[in-house]
């Protein structure tokens, strides 16, 4: 095995490990929010819609998402575009209402391999 091949394999292993950890973190960011109460199917729909929103929505254009039974409503607003380590990133505010209580948080997401992943920093 040449040094070039070894470097390529190591780089691929690092990317795979970072991607796997980032995907796991992508749903963990919800754990302290009212959105943490969504079911498995709702979580899949939620994460898919977050990806669509980050891909297609203009800055300061709110998007509303709610569970099928309407027990939880969330309004998402992309507030800023930024670059981080050569990745395209966006900040998004999530304002969620559950049982009459409102929670508002802002998160960063960066696009990697066609998916928006939670910006850990």
35-88 pLDDT per residue, tens:
677 778 888 888 889 899 999 999 999 999 999 999 899 999 999 999 999 999
Tell me which DSSP letter residue 58 carries: P
61, two tokens: 């254009």
pLDDT confidence of residue 34:
64
Least confident of 24-28, 61-65, 100-104, 110-114: 24-28
Contact indicator for 50, 93 with CB cutoff of 8 Å: no
88 alpha-carbon distance from chain centroid: 13
Q: What is the pLDDT of residue 114?
A: 86
Q: Give the ranges where 29-111 is alpha helix by DSSP (H).
A: 40-56
> Where along the chain do its domains lie?
3-118
Largest Cα separation within the chain, whole Å, is 62
Q: Is a pLDDT exceeding 80 seen at residue 99?
A: yes
Task: Give the per-residue pLDDT at 79.
Answer: 97
Under the banding of pLDDT at 50, 70 and 90, the label for residue 110 is very high
What does the pLDDT read at residue 65? 93
Q: How many other CB atoms sit within 10 Å of the CB of residue 22?
A: 17
pLDDT > 70 in the chain, percent = 70
CB atoms within 10 A of CB 90: 21
For the chain, how many helices (H) and strands (E)? Answer: 2, 5
Q: Is the CB of residue 78 less than 8 Å from the CB of residue 53?
A: yes
Q: What is the pLDDT of residue 20?
A: 37
């Amino acid at each position: 095995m040449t040094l070039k091949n070894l470097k390529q394999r190591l780089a691929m292993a690092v990317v795979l490990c970072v991607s796997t950890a980032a995907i796991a973190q992508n749903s963990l960011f919800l754990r302290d929010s009212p959105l943490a109460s969504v079911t498995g199917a709702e979580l899949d729909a939620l994460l898919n819609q977050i990806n669509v929103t980050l891909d297609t929505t203009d800055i300061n254009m709110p998007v509303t998402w709610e569970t099928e039974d309407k027990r939880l409503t969330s309004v998402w607003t992309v507030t800023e575009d930024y670059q981080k380590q050569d990745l395209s990133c966006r900040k998004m505010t999530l304002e969620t209402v559950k049982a009459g209580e409102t929670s508002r948080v802002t998160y960063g997401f960066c696009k990697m391999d066609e998916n928006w992943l939670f910006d850990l920093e």
